[in-house]
């Protein structure tokens, strides 16, 4: 019987060993999974789908100016629904997920104007006095974060109908905490035919206490937005402390919301009757920055990074230094990352901010394939965020997975191969692996990368890498 995740079997978890380009101890399910991936990739590529080819061997040297945060931009754009008028967003990254969000907002009746700027795009988003109340499946399935319109629509209109986002490669990703929180604010929540249908009795949510069973970033963001226009006081307990939540709270306060405690696990919101549009600056992307910091350490290079939220990267900086990289702060938003000596193995566990970010787990794994010794990486946020492991094995990495923990043996010389991206951060990890693999690595399903990395090819080639986009 096939089991999911692949390494789990009824009554226990079985060790899975990945060596070189074949899967040892491979079960029928794995073969189906991999054949599906390969067949899917082959089928997709037979349609001339875009790939990225990486020629390995370069050590990265120079300066990279990084972009605004994807995971801050998305809730901020959705929160504009709370106030009629024209909102101005500055330093917005140019990403597929931003385009998907604007497409959904236009479907709801907003107008958007995107202007290129020296520090990222400037987006004028005009929200009308009449809004649609339904986010359809065909738009929500493009991007899970579309669920972030639920809180704003419900609290602004008194009703909202949003398609359930469904799972993705890294896990089932339910939204039960979002719905539980909205019910605590008085919403009537029903599930029909794959949609969440919410109604605020009397047309307005009322403040209340919300206790999240686990830390949820977009759950906290949905409730923050919903509570901003609710009648009375709302308190969020076990709230996410991520910087992207703080960025949303900063935007809401600029609109006139009354919020305290953002960045801590208890946030208090005093509801107001109306909010007004304003001008907002998207903060730097800590995950993009972390990805380039790892790239510098991985290639034994010397990178200066600009527009980096250094204060948000303590967990990564600590383990990079333990692994033998030099990380030098050059001010609040600039740093220099280099490595001249050998890489040391450093084990870690992912956890909510400010601990080591799950969105950096795959990138860290690539680095550890070049470390002199064995390390373990435990993924405690998502139940299936090791989809990059069999792909890294195709490049020659020595990996094994048991339950929620991967063991990496290094240093292992990687050899270029054709690999398939399964999700956003896995695709970034495969690009990093290609930078140090011998020969050429071709990464298929590269649309994942374009969802969350602004001009990755241009930025890496600007500091000595050799990447190119190709159509098969
Ligand atoms: C956000 O996803 C980010 N996405 C993710 O980044 C990030 O990996 C994740 O937070 C964790 O930091 C955006 O901000 C758009 P969660 P989110 O709700 O909010 C479970 C990337 O690569 N859970 O914090 O969807 C959930 O299954 C993306 O940029 C419930 O069970 O994640 C997971 O195991 C990937 N019920 C854990 O909580 C719920 O109602 C944390 O999920 C909500 C969450």
Pocket test for ligand 1, best of 5, 69, 70, 71 (most atoms within 8 A of CB): 71
CB 207 within 8 A of CB 267: no
Could you count the other beta carbons within 10 Å of the beta carbon of residue 332? 10
pLDDT in tens, the chain (472 residues): 333 334 444 334 445 666 544 433 344 444 444 444 444 444 444 457 789 999 999 999 999 999 999 999 999 999 999 999 999 999 999 999 999 999 999 999 999 999 998 889 999 999 998 999 999 999 998 888 999 999 999 999 999 999 998 767 777 778 999 999 999 999 999 999 999 999 999 999 999 999 999 999 999 999 999 999 999 999 999 999 999 999 999 999 999 999 999 999 999 999 999 999 999 999 999 999 999 999 999 999 999 999 999 999 999 999 999 999 999 999 999 999 999 999 999 999 999 999 999 999 999 999 999 999 999 999 999 998 999 999 999 999 999 999 999 999 999 999 999 999 999 999 999 999 999 999 999 999 989 999 999 999 999 999 999 999 998 8
Q: In the prediction, which pLDDT does 15 show?
A: 58
Domain boundaries, the chain: 9-40+70-281, 49-67+284-471
Ligand 1 atom with least separation from CA of 221:
19
Ligand 1 atom with least separation from CA of 381:
34
Tell me how many degrees the CA angle 247-428-30 measures, rounded to the nearest 5. Answer: 120
For residue 177, how far is its CA from the centre of ligand 1 (angstroms)?
11
User: Cα separation of 217 and 210, whole Å?
Assistant: 14
Tell whether ligand 1 has an atom less than 6 A from the beta carbon of residue 241: no
- Atom 35 of ligand 1: nearest residue by CA position: 359
Q: In the prediction, which pLDDT does 16 show?
A: 65
* Residues near 308 by beta carbon (within 8 Å), at least 6 away in sequence: 66, 284, 289, 333, 334, 335
Ligand 1 atom with least separation from CA of 171:
27
* Residues near 11 by beta carbon (within 8 Å), at least 6 away in sequence: none
Q: In the prediction, which pLDDT does 153 show?
A: 98
Q: In the prediction, which pLDDT does 253 show?
A: 98
Q: What number does CATH give the domain 9-40+70-281?
A: 3.65.10.10
Ligand 1 atom with least separation from CA of 176:
40
Do the domains at 9-40+70-281 and 49-67+284-471 have one common CATH topology?
yes
Closest CA to 85 of 254, 283, 281: 254
Q: In the prediction, which pLDDT does 17 show?
A: 66
Q: In the prediction, which pLDDT does 425 show?
A: 95
Tell whether ligand 1 has an atom less than 6 A from the beta carbon of residue 212: no
Asked if residue 5 has a cis previous peptide bond (ω within 30° of 0), the answer is yes
Tell whether ligand 1 has an atom less than 6 A from the beta carbon of residue 214: yes
Pocket test for ligand 1, best of 168, 173, 176 (most atoms within 8 A of CB): 173
Tell whether ligand 1 has an atom less than 6 A from the beta carbon of residue 174: yes
For residue 195, how far is its CA from the centre of ligand 1 (angstroms)?
19
Catalytic residues: 168
Q: Which CATH number fits domain 49-67+284-471: 3.50.50.60, 3.30.300.30, 1.10.357.10, 3.65.10.10?
A: 3.65.10.10
């Amino acid at each position: 019987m096939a089991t999911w995740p692949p390494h789990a079997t009824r009554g226990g978890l079985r060790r899975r060993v990945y060596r070189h380009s074949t899967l040892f101890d491979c079960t029928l399910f794995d073969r189906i999974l991999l054949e599906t991936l390969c067949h899917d990739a082959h089928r997709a590529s037979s349609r001339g789908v875009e790939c990225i080819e990486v020629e390995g061997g370069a050590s990265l040297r120079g300066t990279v100016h990084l972009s605004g945060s994807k995971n801050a931009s998305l809730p901020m754009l959705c929160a504009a629904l709370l106030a009629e008028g024209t909102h101005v967003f500055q330093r917005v990254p140019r990403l597929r997920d931003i385009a998907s969000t604007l497409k959904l907002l236009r479907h709801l009746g907003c107008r958007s104007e995107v202007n290129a700027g020296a520090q990222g795009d400037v987006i004028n988003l005009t929200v009308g006095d009449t809004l649609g109340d339904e986010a359809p499946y065909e738009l929500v399935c493009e991007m899970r974060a579309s669920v972030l319109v639920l809180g704003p629509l419900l609290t602004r209109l008194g009703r909202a109908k949003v398609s359930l986002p469904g799972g993705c490669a890294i896990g089932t990703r339910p939204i039960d905490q979002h719905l539980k929180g909205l019910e605590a604010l008085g919403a009537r929540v029903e599930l029909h035919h794959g949609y969440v249908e919410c109604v605020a009795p009397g047309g307005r949510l009322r403040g209340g206490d919300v206790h999240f069973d686990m830390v949820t970033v977009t759950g906290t963001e949905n409730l923050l937005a919903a509570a901003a226009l609710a009648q009375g006081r709302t308190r969020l307990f076990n709230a996410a402390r991520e910087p992207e939540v703080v960025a949303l709270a900063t935007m809401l306060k600029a609109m006139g919301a009354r919020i305290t405690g953002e960045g801590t696990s208890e946030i208090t919101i005093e509801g107001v009757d109306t909010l007004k549009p304003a001008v907002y600056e998207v903060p730097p992307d800590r995950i993009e920055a972390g990805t380039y910091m790892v790239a510098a350490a991985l290639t034994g290079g010397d990178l200066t990074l600009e527009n980096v939220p250094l204060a948000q990267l303590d967990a990564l900086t600590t383990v990079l230094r333990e692994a033998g990289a030099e990380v030098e702060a050059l001010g609040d938003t600039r740093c220099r990352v280099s490595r001249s000596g050998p890489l040391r193995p450093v084990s870690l566990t992912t956890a909510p901010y400010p601990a080591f970010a799950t969105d950096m787990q795959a990138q860290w794994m690539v680095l550890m394939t070049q470390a002199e010794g064995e390390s373990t990486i435990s993924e405690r946020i998502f139940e299936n965020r090791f989809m990059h492991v069999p792909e890294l094995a195709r490049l020659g990495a020595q990996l094994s997975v048991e339950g929620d923990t991967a063991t990496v043996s290094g240093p292992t010389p990687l050899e270029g191969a054709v690999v398939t991206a399964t999700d956003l951060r896995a695709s970034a990890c495969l690009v990093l692996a290609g930078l140090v693999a011998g020969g050429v690595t071709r990464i298929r399903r590269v649309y994942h990368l374009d969802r969350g990395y602004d001009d990755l090819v241009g930025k890496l080639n600007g500091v000595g890498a050799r990447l190119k986009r190709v159509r098969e």
